[in-house]
Structure 1
C-alpha cells in the first residue's frame, strides 16, 4: 500500500455507516493464507467459496478488520464493515490507492502480445524509474485492483495489463487504473464465446481508450484492421501509432528475423534519427510489440537510446517464446502459455525459419461456433509455411492434423505426444509447443526439456 488508512476512511469512501470501533489498516488482503498483521480483509466470492465465511479466520490470522457483503452465521469478533458488494468495494479502494500514485501508469490490452508488451514496457521504464508491473496473469477484475493495491511508496512508474473475457471488463479495470498511456496491441478472434464476434473484441479492447487521461497518450497499431475505429474513438486525445510499415509514426526497417530473436531499426516518421535494436524475442509480432513500447516510452519523454537499452535487456519468460534445450540437441521453443488463431499464426511464422521445424499443438479454447474451422486453418497455414511436421492432441486438433496432411500426427493425450516426439524427433530439430491453457501443453515442455530444473 502507498499509505496507511483507517476503517472509518474506508466507510466514508464506500458510503457506509461508521464502524463501532475504528482501527488503522496497513494493507489489504482477500486471502486468509496471505494476511499480514494490520491488513483489512475483504471477503470476495468465487465459484466454490464465499469469502464471508472466512472472516473469523482472517481476524485470527492478523487482520485488524473485515469488509463483508454478508454477515456469516457466527458474527466475527472484531471491527467490521458490511457493504452491498465486496468486489465493487475492493475496486473502489484500489481506485483510491491509484489516485494517490503520482507516477505514470501505462495500461496495455490486446488479443495477443499484451503480456510480452508488459514485460518489455517494464524493462524500458526500469531504465529511469523504480517500476511496478502486473504480476503473472493478474489482469482481470480482481487482479487489476490487486496490482494497484500492491503499489508502494518507492514505486515511480507502473505497467498494468488488462485482460477481458467479455464486454465491459476493460472499461471497469481501465477506469480504475486511469492510465497516462494506453496501448492496444491488436484485436483478433480470441475468447469469442465471451465477446460474440470479432466486432465485440474490437469494441471491448477500445474501452481502454475511453479511460486514458484526457492529457494522456493512446498508442495504436496502425496495421490492425480496427485502427480507424480506434483512432476515431480517441477523438482529441494524443495518438501515437506503431507498425511494420512507414505509414505508422514508429516503424521498423532492416528487419532480420531469427528463431531466437530479431534485429531491426526503429524509425520515427518526420524525424531524422533511427535506432537499432537487438531483441531476444523472435517473430514479427514481437517487433510490433517492441514498437508499441517504443511509442509509449517516447511519449513519456524517454530517449531512443534508453528505450533500446531497455528492450535489449528483456528476455522471454516461461510459456512465451522461451528457448530451452531438449534431448539430442533439439531446440524447444516454449510458447505454451496460451493460444488463439493470431498467436498460432505468429508462432508458425517463427518456427518456419528453422531448417527442421516441428510444431506441437494443443486445442485452442473459447472460439465458439468457428472452432473447427479455425483449427483447420492452422493446419493449412503450417503446411503452407513449410513446417516439417505437426504433432497435435485434443479433439479439435484432429482438424488441424487433417488439414496439414502428410507428416501430420494426431495423438490421444499429452503423454502420447511426448513419447512420439522422443521416438521420432530428428536430432537438431526445432520444436515449438503451443496451446490454450486448458490444453496443458506446458507439461509437454517439461517432459521434453533436457534439464527439468532449468
Structure 2
C-alpha cells in the first residue's frame, strides 16, 4: 500500500506535469497498473507494450474507483492527469520513493537459478523476527519489482525482493529502486541466454545488483561459481560473504546428507558449527540455504532464528515438490521451469534411487546451444543411473536419443501421459521437469488425478 502522496508530490517524484493544478492536494493511497485490481483512492498507471495500451482503459479505471492517472498520451477523461514522458519509468520512480520511506531491512536476490527458493527461505527466517513482505509469485521483473515495493505497508519491518531479468540492464533498472542492505547472487548459468547474448552477458547483468547495495551493506556471493572473482572485484567497495562447498567459502556446508525426505548438514561460519535440517530436496538446495544463512547472518539475525526459519520452510510449488500420483507413484513436481544446470541438479536428487524416472519437457531460451544442451541432459541422466527416461517436445527428442534405446519420446503430452499411466506404479519415483511454456504441470495433474488426458 502506497504511503499517502498528494498529486503534487507524485508529479514532482515522476518529473511530470499535473495538468489540473487545482487537484494538487488530492491524496492517493495506492497505485495500480491493472483496472481489475483497482481500489478506491488509487492512482492508475497505464503501461503500454507491443500488443496492449493501458491508456485505452483510463475510462474504465475511473469507473473502478481511480482518482487520478498518469498519461504519456492525449486522453479524454475527467480524472486529474499527470503527464509524463514514460509511464513505466514513472512507476519505477514512485516505487523508489516508496522504498525511500521504508526504514526496515531489505534483502534482494538475483541469479540464473535458485532465486525463488532463496527468496522463500530468507522470508521464512525473517518472519521469525520481523513482519516481512516478499515478492509474490513471479513479480520479479521491471514491472513486478516496482509493484512489490509499492505493496509495502507501514507495519512491515523487512522485505525480501527477488530480481529477475530477461536482458541486459534489467537488474540495474530494478535494483536502483530496491537499494538492499544485503544482495545475493546465487549463480550465473546459461539460462534464458537469448536475451543476454552470451554467458558473460548474464554474469554482468546479475552483477548489476552489486552497484546498488547500500554503502554499508553486504554482497553475498557463490564461492562455487566460476564467476566469483568478477563479482568480488565489482563488489570491492562492500563487505562480502562467500557461500558454498568450496574451502574458499565463508559460509560452508559439511557432512551433507540428502534423501527424498530432505537434507541435513553442518554449516561452518565465523568459527561456529551449526547443525541444520532442511525440508527441501537436493544438494543444490543446501547451497541455496547457505546463501540464505550468509545473508541473514550478515543482517544480524540470531542463529536460533536462522535454524528455526530453515526448518519451517516449505517447498515452493513446482520446484521439486513431492506429491503422489493416483497409482501411488512418488512425483517430484519440478515443472515450474527448467535450464540445463537446474535439470542436472534435479536429476542428482534421484541418484541411487530405485525405480527412477525422468519425465522431460523442452527447455527454452537456450539459443544456439539448445540441441547440445538437451543432448547433454539425456547423457547426464543415463550416466547418473536413471532407469527410465521419457520425454516430449521437439528439443527433448535429442535428450531421449542421447539416453539410449530404453528411452521413450512422445510427440505430445497426452501420449506421454497415457504411457506413464500404463507403466508406472507405487514403487516408482518420477521427476517431471520442463520450461514453463511446455506445461509439464499438466502431466503432474493428470497423474495425480488418474486421467489419461489433459
TM over 0.5, shorter chain? yes
For residue 291 of structure 2, what is the aligned residue in structure 1? 292
For residue 215 of structure 1, what is the aligned residue in structure 2? 216
Structural mapping, 1:6-17, within 5 Å: 6-17=6-17
Shift of 1:245: 2.9
8 Å CA contact 1:37–1:64 kept in 2: the answer is: yes
1:206 is paired with a residue whose SS is helix
2:66 is paired with a residue whose SS is coil
8 Å CA contact 2:18–2:83 kept in 1: the answer is: no
Shift of 1:56: 1.0
Q: In the aligned structure 1, how far is the partner of 2:17 from the partner of 2:402?
A: 64
Shift of 1:8: 1.1
- Show CA shifts across 1:354-403 (max 9, x none): 21110001000000011000000000000000001111000001100000
8 Å CA contact 1:418–1:448 kept in 2: the answer is: yes
- Show CA shifts across 1:303-339 (max 9, x none): 2221011011001021111100113321000000000
Shift of 1:259: 2.0
8 Å CA contact 2:245–2:253 kept in 1: the answer is: yes
Q: Does 1:57 align with 2:60?
A: yes
Q: In the aligned structure 2, how far is the partner of 1:243 from the partner of 1:304?
A: 18
Which deviates more, 101-110 or 243-252? 243-252
TM-score, with length taken from structure 2:
0.97
Shift of 1:274: 1.4
8 Å CA contact 1:124–1:306 kept in 2: the answer is: yes
8 Å CA contact 2:327–2:450 kept in 1: the answer is: no
Q: Does 1:66 align with 2:69?
A: yes
1:64 is paired with a residue whose SS is strand
8 Å CA contact 1:363–1:393 kept in 2: the answer is: yes
- Show CA shifts across 1:209-236 (max 9, x none): 1111111010000000000110011012
1:423 is paired with a residue whose SS is helix
What are structure 1's unaligned runs of at least 5 residues? none
Shift of 1:451: 8.4
2:17 is paired with a residue whose SS is coil
Q: Does 1:437 align with 2:436?
A: yes
2:119 is paired with a residue whose SS is helix
Q: In the aligned structure 1, how far is the partner of 2:52 from the partner of 2:344?
A: 39
1:373 is paired with a residue whose SS is helix
For residue 33 of structure 1, what is the aligned residue in structure 2? 36
8 Å CA contact 2:41–2:65 kept in 1: the answer is: yes
8 Å CA contact 1:43–1:55 kept in 2: the answer is: yes
Q: In the aligned structure 2, how far is the partner of 1:26 from the partner of 1:304?
A: 38
For residue 179 of structure 2, what is the aligned residue in structure 1? 178
- Show CA shifts across 1:84-134 (max 9, x none): 110000000000000000001111001000000000000000000000000
For residue 365 of structure 2, what is the aligned residue in structure 1? 366
8 Å CA contact 2:19–2:83 kept in 1: the answer is: no
For residue 231 of structure 1, what is the aligned residue in structure 2? 232
What are structure 2's unaligned runs of at least 5 residues? none
Supply the RMSD in Å over aligned alpha carbons: 1.2
Q: In the aligned structure 2, how far is the partner of 1:303 from the partner of 1:228?
A: 29
Which deviates more, 333-342 or 45-54? 45-54
For residue 4 of structure 1, what is the aligned residue in structure 2? 4
Q: In the aligned structure 1, how far is the partner of 2:9 from the partner of 2:426?
A: 65
8 Å CA contact 1:2–1:100 kept in 2: the answer is: no
Shift of 1:2: 4.6
Q: Does 1:448 align with 2:447?
A: yes
8 Å CA contact 1:258–1:353 kept in 2: the answer is: no
Shift of 1:44: 0.6
Q: In the aligned structure 2, how far is the partner of 1:106 from the partner of 1:25?
A: 27
For residue 260 of structure 1, what is the aligned residue in structure 2? 261
